[in-house]
C-alpha cells in the first residue's frame, strides 16, 4: 500500500512491523532492545502492542540502537536492505581483533604471505550448521570468506549466515560476522574468531589445518562455540561444515540434506539407534534403495541392550529436597550415554571429503 493511501493507524502498524523486522534481523528480544535503546521495557512493550504512540525521542533511541537513519525506520515502502548495510559495516571493520602482545607470531601465524594460508585466503566457502534453537531441526547455511588485508598482516574473515527467516518485504534476513583467521603451526589448527557487534556476539570456529600449496580446500568439519539464539541466550557448542561446493540442504529428501545432518550430529564411533529408527531404514525408500544391502549387513554387527529413557524435565517435579534432587540428577547424568566431548575425527573428515569430492566429480561428467 502506498503511503498516500494509508490511514494513520495503518501507517503506525507498518512502522511497528519494521521495528519487528529490525529486531528479528539482529536477533534481539524486547528486553535486549530496551537495554540497547534506553527505553523502559514496559514502555517498549506498550509501543509494540500499539498501546502507546511513538515519540521523536523513542524514534531517535531506536535508530541509535539499530544503527540506522530515521528514514529507514519511518518509510514503510522502502526496502529493508539490511544485508547490504551490514556488509558495508563489516567491510569497514577490517582490523585485527587481538593485540600482538598476546601472540607468539612464530607459531600463531597471521601474516598472509606465509605458505600456511595458501588455499584459504581469497576464497569463499559454503557454511552449514544446525540452528541453535532446540525446537528447530532444519539446517542453516551461509558463506564464510577469508581475505588478506591491504598490508597482509592478518587474514580477514567474514561470515554471512542466513537465519531462515524473511522480513515483511520478503527479503532474506542474515546475521553478519567479521573477524580474523589465525593458524597454529604447533597445533595444526585454524582458529576463526568472529564478532557480530550488532547483537553483541563473539563466536569461535576451529578446524584442522592442512598445507595446501597448489591445491584448494574442498571441505572441513569444524567445531563452533557461540551463543544460542533462544530466549535464554545460553552458550552452545556444535559441529559446522565448511565446503567449497554448494550442497542442497533445503530439500528434506535430498541425499545432501541427509548426509550433512548425520555428519553434524555429535556422534562418536559407537552409535546408539532405536529399533524404531533402524527399522525405518529397512522399509523400501527410494532415497535408501542403494543402501539396503549395507543396512541389512549392519544388522549382523549390532548388539542389543536395554536402556532407561528418562525425561529430566519430568523428574525435576519429584517432591524431594532440592539438594537431593540436584545430586541425584547429576549421578544419573554421569551414568548416561551422553558424550563428555566430541572430536572431529579423521574418519569424519575422510567421509565428508569422499562424499563432496565424489559428488563434484559426478557433476563434471
- Reported as a single tens digit per residue, the pLDDT across 116-148 is 999 999 999 999 999 988 778 789 999 999 998
Within 8 A by CB and 6+ apart from 206, the residues are: 189, 190, 191, 192, 222, 223, 224
Say if CB 212 and CB 118 are below 8 A apart: yes
Q: How far apart are CA 211 and CA 281, in angstroms?
A: 39
> Which among 244, 265, 286 is the end of a domain?
265
**Residue 85: its pLDDT value, please?**
41
**Cα angle vertex 340, ends 336, 346, to 5°?**
125
Residue 169 shares a structural domain with residue 67: no
> Which of 215, 244, 265 is the last residue before a domain boundary?
265
Give the pLDDT confidence score for residue 93 in this predicted structure: 45
**Choice among 150-159, 222-231, 267-276, 280-289 with the minimum mean pLDDT:** 280-289
Residue ranges making up the domain that contains 31: 3-74
- Provide the mean pLDDT of the chain: 85
194 versus 360: the higher-pLDDT residue is: 194
Is residue 353 in a domain? yes
Residues 241 and 352 in one domain: no
User: CA 74 to CA 55: how far, in whole Å?
Assistant: 12
Lowest mean pLDDT among 56-60, 218-222, 338-342: 338-342
Total count of domains within the chain = 3
Residues 134 and 196 in one domain: yes
Verify that 70 and 87 share a domain, yes or no.
no
122-156 burial string, b = 16+ CB within 10 Å, else e?
Answer: eeebbbbbbbbeeeeeebbbbebebbbbeeeebbb
Residue 57 parent element (H or E): helix 56-66
DSSP assignment of 192-208 equals: EEEEETTTTEEEEEEEE
pLDDT tier at 46 (50, 70, 90 boundaries)? very high
Asked if residues 292 and 268 have their Cβ atoms less than 8 Å apart, the reply is no
- Is 270 contained in some domain? no
Place of cell 534481539: 28
DSSP conformational letter for 171:
P
pLDDT band at 163 (very low <50, low <70, confident <90, very high): confident
- The reply to whether 120 and 254 lie within a common domain is yes
- pLDDT computed for residue 4 by the predictor: 65
Same domain? 346 vs 239? no
Residue (of 247, 246, 284, 240) closest to 266 by Cα position: 240
Given 219, 239, 265, the domain boundary residue is: 265
Instruction: Give the chain's end-to-end CA distance (angstroms, integer).
Output: 50
146 and 15 fall within a common domain: no
Other CB atoms within a 10 A radius of the CB of residue 67 amount to 15
Same domain, 231 and 287: no
Q: What are phi and psi of 298, to 5 degrees?
A: -60, -30
Confidence of residue 35 (pLDDT cuts 50, 70, 90): confident
Mean pLDDT value of segment 92-121 = 82
pLDDT at 226 over 60: yes
Amino acid at each position: 500500500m502506498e503511503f498516500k493511501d494509508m490511514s494513520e493507524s495503518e501507517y503506525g502498524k507498518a512502522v511497528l512491523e519494521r521495528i519487528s523486522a529490525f529486531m528479528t534481523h539482529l536477533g534481539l528480544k524486547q528486553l535486549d532492545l530496551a537495554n540497547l535503546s534506553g527505553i523502559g521495557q514496559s514502555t517498549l512493550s506498550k509501543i509494540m502492542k500499539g498501546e502507546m504512540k511513538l515519540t521523536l525521542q523513542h524514534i531517535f533511541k531506536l535508530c541509535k540502537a539499530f544503527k540506522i537513519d530515521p528514514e529507514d525506520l519511518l518509510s514503510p515502502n522502502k526496502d529493508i536492505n539490511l544485508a547490504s548495510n551490514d556488509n558495508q559495516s563489516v567491510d569497514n571493520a577490517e582490523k585485527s581483533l587481538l593485540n600482538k602482545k598476546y601472540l607468539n607470531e612464530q607459531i600463531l601465524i597471521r601474516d598472509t604471505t606465509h605458505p600456511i594460508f595458501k588455499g584459504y585466503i581469497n576464497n569463499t566457502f559454503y557454511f552449514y550448521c544446525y540452528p541453535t534453537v532446540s525446537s528447530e531441526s532444519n539446517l542453516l547455511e551461509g558463506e564464510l570468506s577469508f581475505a588478506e588485508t591491504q598490508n597482509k598482516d592478518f587474514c580477514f574473515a567474514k561470515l554471512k549466515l542466513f537465519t531462515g527467516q524473511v522480513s515483511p518485504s520478503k527479503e532474506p534476513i542474515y546475521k553478519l560476522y567479521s573477524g580474523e583467521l589465525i593458524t597454529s603451526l604447533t597445533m595444526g589448527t585454524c582458529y576463526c574468531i568472529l564478532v557480530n557487534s550488532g547483537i553483541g556476539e563473539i563466536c569461535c570456529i576451529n578446524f584442522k589445518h592442512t598445507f595446501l600449496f597448489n591445491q584448494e580446500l574442498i571441505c572441513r568439519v569444524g567445531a563452533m562455540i557461540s551463543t544460542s539464539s533462544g530466549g535464554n541466550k545460553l552458550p552452545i557448542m556444535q559441529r559446522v561444515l565448511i565446503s567449497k561446493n554448494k550442497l542442497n540442504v533445503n530439500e528434506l529428501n535430498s541425499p545432501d540434506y541427509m548426509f550433512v545432518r548425520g555428519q553434524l550430529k555429535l556422534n562418536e564411533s559407537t552409535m546408539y539407534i532405536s529399533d524404531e529408527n533402524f527399522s525405518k531404514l529397512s522399509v523400501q525408500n527410494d532415497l535408501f534403495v542403494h543402501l539396503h544391502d549395507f543396512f541389512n549387513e549392519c544388522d549382523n554387527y549390532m548388539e542389543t541392550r536395554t536402556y532407561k529413557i528418562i525425561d529430566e524435565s519430568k523428574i525435576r517435579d519429584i517432591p524431594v529436597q532440592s539438594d537431593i534432587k540436584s545430586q541425584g540428577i547429576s549421578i544419573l547424568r554421569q551414568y548416561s550415554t551422553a558424550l563428555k566431548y566430541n572430536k572431529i575425527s579423521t574418519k569424519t573428515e575422510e567421509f565428508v571429503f569422499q562424499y563432496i569430492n565424489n559428488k563434484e566429480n559426478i557433476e563434471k561428467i
